[in-house]
Amino acid sequence: MTLPELVASLTPFLATFGAKLNDDQWEQYHLALADVNPGDLDDAMADLRRTHAFRNAPLPAEILDRCHVHRKRRYVNTGHAAPEVKARHDEGEWKSFTLKGIGTLRLHVLPDDHPALPRYACLRCKDTSWEEIPNMSDKPSQPTCRRCACWQSNPEIARQRSKDAEYRQRKAS
């Protein structure tokens, strides 16, 4: 969203609070709200019109929080997952690893808290409820699996079970 579009969207809303922003203040609102979907911004402002209990105009962070709430609702209502976060080339650092018999490898490593890395509630089964049993024999065969200990308490597996149950119920009716 460009600065003129943001000014056109927010001016009627901020006028209800008697706010007249200078160029620097508009620039701060634009920096905070530049990546926001215009529909989410409209929903956030409508939500703030109903619930905002302050005398002053909402700060950019308050509007941005409401936009994130409406963005999540939009993804849930459409049944699609949130867009996948991709790592940029300037994130992380290059590290060299030496492997015996292979040589030195140089890899780009992201920090552990990077949003592009997958997050699992259980690292053993990676939220599938099945863990692989290491094969102790010399000859390769199909991997053996068993039920992971987390399958009753894992929140991701419970969420998937409830989605499956809703699907079966809709299909039966």
Instruction: Please give the Cα distance from 165 to 128 (Å, whole number).
Output: 17
Question: In this prediction, what percent of the chain has a pLDDT beyond 90?
Answer: 0
pTM, to two decimals: 0.46
* pLDDT, mean over the chain: 80
Indicate the length of the chain as a whole number.
173
pLDDT at 45: 87
The residue behind tokens 């990676």 is: 126
Predicted local distance difference test score (pLDDT) of residue 118: 67
Q: What is the DSSP string of 16-44?
A: TTT----HHHHHHHHHHHTTS-HHHHHHH
| pLDDT bracket for residue 128 (50, 70, 90) | confident
Average pLDDT over residues 14-38: 86
Q: Which residues of 101-120 are buried (b: 16+ CB within 10 A; e: fewer)?
A: eeeeeeeeeeeeeeeeeeee
The tens digit of pLDDT for each residue in 37-93 reads 888 888 888 888 887 666 678 888 888 888 888 887 777 676 665 556 677 767 788
> What pLDDT, on a 0 to 100 scale, did the predictor assign at position 107?
80
* pLDDT confidence band for 139 (50 / 70 / 90): low
Average pLDDT of span 139-156: 79
Q: How far apart are alpha carbons 128 and 120 in whole angstroms?
A: 10
Geometric angle at alpha carbon 163, from 162 and 169, rounded to 5°: 85
C-alpha 168/C-alpha 173 separation (Å) is 9
User: Over the stretch 103-114, which tens digit does the pLDDT of each residue have?
Assistant: 888 887 887 767
User: What element of type H or E holds 159?
Assistant: helix 155-172
| Phi, psi values for residue 76, rounded to 5° | -65, -45
What is the phi/psi pair of residue 18, to 5°? 75, 20
Amino acid letter, 97: F
Residue 33 to residue 37: CA distance in whole angstroms? 9
Label residue 19 by pLDDT band (50, 70, 90).
confident
- Most trustworthy range by pLDDT among 119-128, 133-142, 164-173: 164-173
Report yes or no: 145 and 132 within 8 Å, Cβ to Cβ.
Answer: yes
